[in-house]
Structure 1
Amino acid sequence: MTTFPYQTLMVQGTTSDAGKTTVVAALCRLLKQRGVKVAPFKPQNMALNSAVTRDGGEIGRAQALQAIAAGIEPHTDMNPVLLKPSSDTGAQVIIHGSVRADMNARDYHQYKPIAMGAVLESHARLLAQYEAVIVEGAGSPAEINLRDRDIANMGFAEAVDCPVILVADIDRGGVFAHLVGTLSCLSQSERDRVIGFVINRFRGDIKLLEPGLDWLEAQTGKPVLAVLPYLHGLFLDAEDAVQAAQASKGAFRVVVPSLPRMSNHTDFDALRAHPDVDLRFVRESESIPGADLIILPGSKNTRGDLAWLDTHGWREQIARHLRYGGKVIGVCGGFQMLGKTVGDPHGVEGAPGVSNGLGLLDIDTELTRDKQLTRVEGLCAFVPGDESGRVSGYEIHMGVSSGAAMTRPVFAIDGRGEGAMSADGQIMGTYLHGLFDHPDACSALLRWAGSRSEQVVNTAQLREASLDRIAASVEGLLDRLIGLRDRT
């Protein structure tokens, strides 16, 4: 059994997507394997990919992944502040798993001292339950404009007096400038708590990198604790950004519009991993390709993203797709868009009003102030006479849909029908996120959409295997961390 000498250790990055989430998950998995009771923690997360916890709250998807790595149930204390952007200047503020308010950037800046109180409460509760807490920062500590009232990076580290390791991504270039430049933007006390660097996503001959490592250590007086390899083919839940498109690999074509406020695109990770599926996210500047299946994803601003679909020709493209026999699925906000109207009388997502939906399902939706947050399990109900396929997932939505199409449910959840289908069976909508994650449901949905594949994808197994791979890659880092403390 390993004795981990840090009760709290923070992982910060020189940039967004430097690898903070992966390093925290890897350390959590490795510590678990070595017998340490460990928990992940992220003080403040800004992300549209979220998960529902057993205690009925909402946290960032990345913290749910890190909890799985640690072998524990995700809890709202692992991400006490979650910001879900609804526009370029505003976001829904979620504290301890529950919606507190919608705020613009200036109002939230004034609110940060209150948010810091929630952060410190959660951190204290985790310390009381676990031997070690591995903390993930947000963005970069070098964002000078955000230093005042910071709760996400060095502001938190200073408040709890914890050491920090700084991660930089060498694959994007400029790794030495990122590390030296980040240190130069910090105060002396902040620089002092950085105990070393991690260089992430390295590929090549390490001998060619060593002169740069020697220079970096001499320049900063900080050790390079690890150079982590670029690991291909990982299956890990993304915190927010849509991953780069992969090369076409399957005959069955699935197209997803990359909405400006798309949420929970991790819903489609199982399709991304499927060897017989070619999944493509279509961005604003790209033409809409032909497909067997079009999926409208979740949205943090349903009416705004519905207008975006109209502006970029998706209404006409979907109608054409259906005329040629294609299938359409709407998930959460995408489900609401498929209906006749989406009303927002309370101004939940913006100015109050009603928008015309795509008119493809006989439902109407009214957005509500209350958010539905629940984890569910059930059976597939969209294949007549066959309800043996299992489905599991979670609901995160602010809205109630009703109409004749609801009498043709997609799933059976706890004895009730969930979702809606068109009378001709070409279109389905559901509030269920993670609908493709269970192998039964994924296979059944692809068969419904016209795929003839016999391949089965088990996302849980893929995720576990990837967590073990990244844990193996940080063994040297963990040993250096322990040795570093042993010498001080």
Structure 2
Amino acid sequence: MQARSLMFQGTGSDVGKSLLVAGLARAFTQRGLRVRPFKPQNMSNNAAVTADGGEIGRAQALQARAAGVPLSVHMNPVLLKPQSMIGAQIVVQGRVQGSAKAAEYQRMKAGLMPAVLDSFSRMRGEADLVLVEGAGSASEVNLRANDIANMGFSRAANVPVILIGDIDRGGVIASLVGTKAVLDPADAAMIRGFVVNKFRGDPALFADGMALIADRTGWAPLGLLPFLPEAAQLPAEDALALDHVLPRKPGARLRIAVPVLPRIANFDDLDPLIAEPAVEVIRVRPGTALPGDADLVILPGSKATIADLAALREAGFDIDIAAHLRRGGAVLGLCGGYQMLGREIVDPDGVEGPPGTVPGLRLLDITTVLGGAKRLEPVTGTTADGAGFSGYEMHIGRSEGPDRARPFAQLADGSAEGAVSADGRVLGTYVHGLFSAEAQRGAWLARFAAGAPALDYEARVEAALDRLGAHVAAHLDLDRLLSLAG
């Protein structure tokens, strides 16, 4: 018997598709079903490494965690990682297949459908239920030709669709009814019902709204899902999350400044620090100086290190970082941020643009040479202070130089990783997910905040997934969703 499947598309980006699928994955798993998440095409520079050395979107990693299953490259067979405003790296079934500009990719999509359907078939072979997440908006009819992300996949795989609208941003009636108005009738026929997400207030006040949408579209009203504040405790994938203002923490004992550069990647590295009561993370956009009272500056990962290094200099962040170090502060570079800290970045093969060499910030005595195979591997180890961690590496290039004699960490296989400056105040590492480990965050808090206790971040994520699962189960009819699943 083939697994059932149900696809969740949205009226736009950031309407809650990813978290709704994660909540349903947890709820149906707790009912005893074997659940697998699936997203045909994702666009994100937040990625996770699978056990077999591939990469998928971070949202599918969270959904797999909610379902209690290992990560697979087949959960997200096409991953687009933006490198510029018009171009992206293309990852197919976990492996880099090259890069393309937006118009070129539109012509390539039809050729990717076989890989998408192959991966979907593999997921169905492992599951009782496959929960499929669409991408962006279902109403992007200008991109409908050769679509593999939304209605094109739905029809090719014969997977029924539930449409999600976000009432929190306003205009939800128009967005749902408008989606029906612009869709091709054959596409609209794949939609079995709709959910209105992120509702605040008295549900009775929107009963007429639900009825109006149902009347205008002919789709079944499947639920009004209240806003869940605890959802903010789960890792975000969409870069739109970077626009959300972080709360101020007047009593914070550790202040961390993070320059937000155009091609920032794997920014969920910072989520465990944001969750810490004793830590205030300040995301700083170009046009604003890094705060002078920060204890630590973190340069996060980047999808295009050379371009983001140029953006950092253009914003004057290099001057702010130099002043921060003169005041006795510390700097940590993660992956692309680590590469920026060195003497220079050499790109002999034109991996990130025209071949050449650019000067780094020269805060670490290392040189990075871009090229070679992309390293995608889970890692564990111990930092120089004895604190353990479990994370992953995801990068192109090697960094070598005298400061590598003072490694940031020792990996479980005995190899040295990263580099530390002679005064110990500039540190760099290729390890992502570093701060998820309670011991690792505790060590950083001990260094800067007089030993403020670290929270159990992993337990917090699990508890938030449990609450999310219970939330969707309480407000959506799971039995009816199963009955609608193809």
8 Å Cα contact 1:276/1:453 also seen in 2: no
8 Å Cα contact 2:3/2:124 also seen in 1: no
Q: Which residue of 2 aligns with 1:248?
A: 248
Q: Does 1:139 align with 2:136?
A: yes
Q: Which residue of 2 aligns with 1:205?
A: 202
| Corresponding letter in the other structure for 2:281 | L
For residues 395-436 of structure 1, the C-alpha deviation after alignment (integer angstroms, 9 at most, x for no partner) is: 000010000000101111021111100000111000000111
Q: Which residue of 2 aligns with 1:372?
A: 375
| Corresponding letter in the other structure for 1:164 | V
What does 1:221-240 align with in structure 2 at a 5 Å threshold?
221-234=218-231, 235-240=233-238
Q: Which residue of 2 aligns with 1:90?
A: 87
Matched position secondary structure for 1:142: coil
The Cα of 1:444 is off from its aligned counterpart by 1.0
Do the aligned partners of residues 303 and 207 (structure 1) sit closer, same or farther apart at CA in structure 2, a change above 3 Å counting? same
8 Å Cα contact 1:5/1:482 also seen in 2: no
8 Å Cα contact 1:5/1:485 also seen in 2: no
Q: Which residue of 2 aligns with 1:215?
A: 212
What does 1:349-364 align with in structure 2 at a 5 Å threshold?
349-364=352-367
Q: Which residue of 2 aligns with 1:30?
A: 27
The Cα of 1:477 is off from its aligned counterpart by 5.5
Q: Does 1:108 align with 2:105?
A: yes
Q: Does 1:48 align with 2:45?
A: yes
Take 1:466 and 1:74, find their aligned partners in 2: how far apart are those partners?
Answer: 20
Take 1:5 and 1:98, find their aligned partners in 2: how far apart are those partners?
Answer: 28
Worse-matched range after superposition: 265-274 or 457-466: 457-466
| Corresponding letter in the other structure for 1:430 | T
| Corresponding letter in the other structure for 1:54 | A
8 Å Cα contact 1:82/1:95 also seen in 2: yes
Take 1:146 and 1:477, find their aligned partners in 2: how far apart are those partners?
Answer: 33
Take 1:80 and 1:14, find their aligned partners in 2: how far apart are those partners?
Answer: 23
Q: Does 1:262 align with 2:264?
A: yes
The counterpart of 2:181, out of the listed 158, 164, 184, is: 184
8 Å Cα contact 1:340/1:357 also seen in 2: yes
Q: Does 1:400 align with 2:403?
A: no
Q: Which residue of 2 aligns with 1:164?
A: 161
The Cα of 1:285 is off from its aligned counterpart by 3.3
Matched position secondary structure for 2:8: strand
Q: Which residue of 1 aligns with 2:438?
A: 439
Scaled by the length of structure 1, what TM-score is found? 0.95
8 Å Cα contact 1:346/1:369 also seen in 2: no
For residues 368-416 of structure 1, the C-alpha deviation after alignment (integer angstroms, 9 at most, x for no partner) is: 14100000111121x3xxx2x2111000000100000001011110211
The Cα of 1:446 is off from its aligned counterpart by 3.0
Q: Which residue of 2 aligns with 1:430?
A: 429
The counterpart of 1:337, out of the listed 337, 340, 363, is: 340
The Cα of 1:341 is off from its aligned counterpart by 0.1
Over the matched positions of the two proteins, sequence identity in percent amounts to 48
Q: Which residue of 2 aligns with 1:64?
A: 61
The counterpart of 1:173, out of the listed 170, 178, 184, is: 170
Q: Which residue of 2 aligns with 1:81?
A: 78
Do the aligned partners of residues 248 and 99 (structure 1) sit closer, same or farther apart at CA in structure 2, a change above 3 Å counting? same
| Corresponding letter in the other structure for 2:480 | I
What RMSD over aligned residues (CA atoms) do the two structures have, in Å? 1.7
The counterpart of 2:276, out of the listed 274, 277, 284, is: 274
Matched position secondary structure for 1:474: helix
Matched position secondary structure for 1:141: coil
The Cα of 1:453 is off from its aligned counterpart by 4.0
The Cα of 1:208 is off from its aligned counterpart by 1.1
Matched position secondary structure for 1:268: helix
Q: Which residue of 1 aligns with 2:452?
A: 454
Take 2:145 and 2:22, find their aligned partners in 1: how far apart are those partners?
Answer: 29
8 Å Cα contact 1:330/1:338 also seen in 2: yes
The Cα of 1:470 is off from its aligned counterpart by 1.0
| Corresponding letter in the other structure for 1:140 | S
Q: Which residue of 1 aligns with 2:296?
A: 293
Do the aligned partners of residues 487 and 163 (structure 1) sit closer, same or farther apart at CA in structure 2, a change above 3 Å counting? closer
User: Structure 1 unaligned runs (5+)?
Assistant: none
For residues 65-87 of structure 1, the C-alpha deviation after alignment (integer angstroms, 9 at most, x for no partner) is: 00000110010000000010100
Do the aligned partners of residues 42 and 172 (structure 1) sit closer, same or farther apart at CA in structure 2, a change above 3 Å counting? same
8 Å Cα contact 1:374/1:394 also seen in 2: yes
User: Structure 2 unaligned runs (5+)?
Assistant: none
Scaled by the length of structure 2, what TM-score is found? 0.96
Worse-matched range after superposition: 199-208 or 44-53: 199-208
Do the aligned partners of residues 486 and 339 (structure 1) sit closer, same or farther apart at CA in structure 2, a change above 3 Å counting? closer
Take 1:299 and 1:486, find their aligned partners in 2: how far apart are those partners?
Answer: 41
For residues 327-379 of structure 1, the C-alpha deviation after alignment (integer angstroms, 9 at most, x for no partner) is: 10000000000000011111111121111100000000011141000001111
| Corresponding letter in the other structure for 1:302 | T
For residues 228-247 of structure 1, the C-alpha deviation after alignment (integer angstroms, 9 at most, x for no partner) is: 11111332121131341222
Take 1:486 and 1:89, find their aligned partners in 2: how far apart are those partners?
Answer: 38
Worse-matched range after superposition: 51-60 or 218-227: 218-227
Take 1:473 and 1:322, find their aligned partners in 2: how far apart are those partners?
Answer: 46
For residues 166-215 of structure 1, the C-alpha deviation after alignment (integer angstroms, 9 at most, x for no partner) is: 01111000010110011111111111111111111111111111121121
Matched residue pairs, number? 479
The counterpart of 2:149, out of the listed 146, 149, 152, is: 152
The Cα of 1:487 is off from its aligned counterpart by 12
Q: Which residue of 1 aligns with 2:471?
A: 473
Matched position secondary structure for 1:111: helix
Worse-matched range after superposition: 126-135 or 237-246: 237-246
